[in-house]
Amino acid sequence: MEPSYNPWEVEPRWQEAWEAEGLYRAGAGKRRDETFVIAVPPPNVTGALHMGHALNGALQDVLIRWHRMRGFDALWQPGYDHAGISTQNVVEKQLLEEGTSRKEIGREAFVERVWRHLEETGRTIMAQYRRLGASLAYDRERFTMDDAYVEAVMRFFVHSWERGWIYRANRIVNWCPYHETAISDLEVVHAPMDDMLTFASYPFVDGSGSVTVATARPATILADVAVAVHPEDDRYRAIVGKDVVVPFVERRAPVVADDLVDPEFGTGALKVTPGHDPVDFEIGRKHELPTLTVIGPDGRMNEDAGPLAGLTQQEADDAVVAWLEEHGQLERREPYRHNVGTCERCHNRIEPLVSLQWWLTMDEPRKPALAALRERRVRYHPESQHQFAVRSLEDIPDWNVSRQLWWGHQLPIWYCPDGHVTSAWPRPEACAECGSAELVRDPDVLDTWFSSALWPFATLGWPEDTKDLRRYYPGDVNSTAREIIRLWENRMIWTGIELVGDVPFHDVIVHSTVLAPDGRRMSKSLGTGIDPLEIIDEHGADATRYGLLKMSSTQDVRFSVGAVAEGRKLATKLWNVARLILMNAEGAAPDARPQAVEERWILARLDAVRAEVEEAWARFDFAVAVKALFGLTFDDFCDWYAEAIKPRLYEDDPDAAATALAALERLLLLLHPVMPHVTEEIWAQLPARRSRLIVAPWPEPDVRFEGDSDALERVRDAAEIARRSGVLVDLDEDERRIFEAVVRKEQLPVNGSREGEIARLRKEVARSEGMLGNDSFVANAPPDVVEGEREKLRRYRRELDALGG
Query: What 3 state SS string does 176-197 have?
Result: ECCCCEEECHHHEEEEEEEEEE
User: Which residues face 440 on adjacent strands?
Assistant: 415
The mark string for 515-544 relative to RNA (x by CB under 7 A, - otherwise) is: x-x-xxx-----------------------
Residues in 368-427 at the binding interface with RNA, rule: CB under 7 A: 384, 387-388
Nearer to RNA, 423 or 633 (CB): 633
Of 36-44, 424-432, 676-684, 777-785, the segment contacting RNA by CB under 7 A is 777-785
Among the listed residues 58, 153, 279, 668, the single contact to RNA using CB under 7 A: 279
Among the listed residues 68, 271, 491, 545, the single contact to RNA using CB under 7 A: 271
Q: Binding to RNA by residue 718, rule CB under 7 A?
A: no
Q: Please state, in angstroms and rounded to a whole number, the distance separating the CA atoms of residues 536 and 187.
A: 32
Of 53-61, 450-458, 461-469, 555-563, the segment contacting RNA by CB under 7 A is 555-563
Q: Please state, in angstroms and rounded to a whole number, the distance separating the CA atoms of residues 660 and 647.
A: 13
Between the CA atoms of 790, 795, 799 and 801, what dihedral angle is there, to the nearest 10 degrees? 50
Q: Binding to RNA by residue 240, rule CB under 7 A?
A: no
Cβ–Cβ < 8 Å for 372, 381: no
| Helix (H) or strand (E) run with residue 792 in it | helix 783-802
Nearer to RNA, 562 or 697 (CB): 562
Residues in 728-757 at the binding interface with RNA, rule: CB under 7 A: 744, 747, 750-751
Q: Binding to RNA by residue 50, rule CB under 7 A?
A: no
User: Which residues face 228 on adjacent strands?
Assistant: 256, 270
Among the listed residues 243, 304, 643, 740, the single contact to RNA using CB under 7 A: 643
Q: Binding to RNA by residue 265, rule CB under 7 A?
A: yes
Residues in 479-508 at the binding interface with RNA, rule: CB under 7 A: 482-483
User: Which residues face 251 on adjacent strands?
Assistant: 246
User: Which residues face 370 on adjacent strands?
Assistant: none
Residues in 206-225 at the binding interface with RNA, rule: CB under 7 A: 213-217
Residues 6 or more apart from 254 whose CB is under 8 A from it? Answer: 226, 227, 241, 242, 243, 244
Three-state secondary structure call for residue 168: strand
Q: Please state, in angstroms and rounded to a whole number, the distance separating the CA atoms of residues 676 and 684.
A: 12
Residues in contact with RNA, counted by CB under 7 A, come to a total of 94
Three-state secondary structure call for residue 600: helix
Cβ–Cβ < 8 Å for 198, 205: no
Among the listed residues 109, 593, 650, 710, the single contact to RNA using CB under 7 A: 650
Nearer to RNA, 690 or 751 (CB): 751
Q: Find the shortest distance in angstroms from Cβ 783 to RNA.
A: 10
Cβ–Cβ < 8 Å for 48, 85: no
Of 20-28, 65-73, 462-470, 560-568, the segment contacting RNA by CB under 7 A is 560-568
Q: Please state, in angstroms and rounded to a whole number, the distance separating the CA atoms of residues 470 and 472.
A: 6
By DSSP bridging, strand 226-229 and strand 269-272 are antiparallel
By DSSP bridging, strand 73-77 and strand 35-39 are parallel
Three-state secondary structure call for residue 243: strand
The mark string for 130-159 relative to RNA (x by CB under 7 A, - otherwise) is: ------------------------------
Residues in 676-695 at the binding interface with RNA, rule: CB under 7 A: none
Nearer to RNA, 398 or 498 (CB): 398
Three-state secondary structure call for residue 472: helix
Among the listed residues 117, 333, 420, 723, the single contact to RNA using CB under 7 A: 723
Q: Binding to RNA by residue 648, rule CB under 7 A?
A: no
Of 133-141, 370-378, 440-448, 550-558, the segment contacting RNA by CB under 7 A is 550-558
Q: Find the shortest distance in angstroms from Cβ 28 to RNA.
A: 30
- The candidate with the shortest Cα–Cα distance to 350, out of 358, 340, 336, is 340
Nearer to RNA, 307 or 788 (CB): 788
Q: Find the shortest distance in angstroms from Cβ 466 to RNA.
A: 35
Nearer to RNA, 130 or 573 (CB): 573
Residues 6 or more apart from 422 whose CB is under 8 A from it? Answer: 413, 414, 416, 428, 431, 432, 433
Q: Find the shortest distance in angstroms from Cβ 803 to RNA.
A: 16
Q: Binding to RNA by residue 560, rule CB under 7 A?
A: yes
Among the listed residues 23, 240, 530, 638, the single contact to RNA using CB under 7 A: 638
Nearer to RNA, 126 or 786 (CB): 786
Residues in 173-192 at the binding interface with RNA, rule: CB under 7 A: 185-186, 188-190
Nearer to RNA, 10 or 38 (CB): 10
Among the listed residues 319, 563, 602, 718, the single contact to RNA using CB under 7 A: 563
Q: Please state, in angstroms and rounded to a whole number, the distance separating the CA atoms of residues 208 and 244.
A: 10
Residues 6 or more apart from 452 whose CB is under 8 A from it? Answer: 42, 81, 144, 487, 488, 491, 492
